[in-house]
């Protein structure tokens, strides 16, 4: 890593059970991220009890999904959203305030030899401006 690049402190985190989320796909990456989240929020009522995520993967062309959990089983089934299952297991994690460091954090995390090459980058939004960036560790 270049001397002028920030190095983030990495921890391990566990997602105990798989999470079914419902997603709005971004039309482009990274420019379509905000529009995907806005479209999702336009379809799904906000609640502090919901969990909100960003999921991305890819090499040449990146796929990005703005994602949300249900509060009641089946409540989001008719909203034209894609279902996606977040895997349980161990993840590398970096917590950050704000959104400007997310790309740099993932650039660092995906270079770790423990990362599952078939995994994805997971943004776990944990309140106003707090984000946990996660990548799955190989099983």
CATH of 18-136, one of 2.40.110.10, 3.20.20.70, 3.50.50.60, 3.20.80.10: 3.20.80.10
Question: What residues does each domain of the chain span?
Answer: 18-136
Which long-range contacts (C-beta less than 8 Å, at least 24 apart) are formed by 70-74?
Answer: 70/20, 70/22, 71/47
* Confidence label for 4 from pLDDT (cuts 50, 70 and 90): low
pLDDT in tens, 66-81: 999 999 999 998 999 9
Cα-based angle 20, 23, 27 (whole degrees, multiple of 5): 155
pLDDT in tens, 84-123: 999 999 999 999 998 899 999 999 999 999 999 999 999 9
pTM higher than the cut 0.85: yes
Phi, psi angles (nearest 5°) of residue 23: -125, 150
pLDDT (0 to 100) of residue 5: 63
């Amino acid at each position: 890593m270049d001397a002028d690049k920030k190095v983030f402190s990495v921890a391990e985190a566990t997602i105990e059970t798989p999470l079914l989320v419902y997603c709005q796909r971004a039309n482009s990456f990274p420019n379509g991220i905000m529009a995907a989240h806005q479209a999702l929020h336009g379809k799904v009522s906000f609640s502090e009890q919901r969990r909100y995520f960003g999921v991305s993967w890819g090499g040449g062309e990146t796929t990005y999904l703005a994602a949300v959990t249900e509060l009641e089983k089946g409540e989001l089934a008719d909203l034209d959203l894609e279902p996606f299952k977040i895997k349980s297991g161990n993840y590398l994690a970096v917590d950050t305030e704000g959104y400007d460091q997310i790309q740099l954090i993932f650039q660092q995390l995906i270079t770790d030899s423990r990362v599952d090459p078939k995994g994805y980058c997971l943004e776990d939004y944990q309140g106003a401006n707090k984000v946990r960036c996660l990548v799955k560790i190989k099983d």
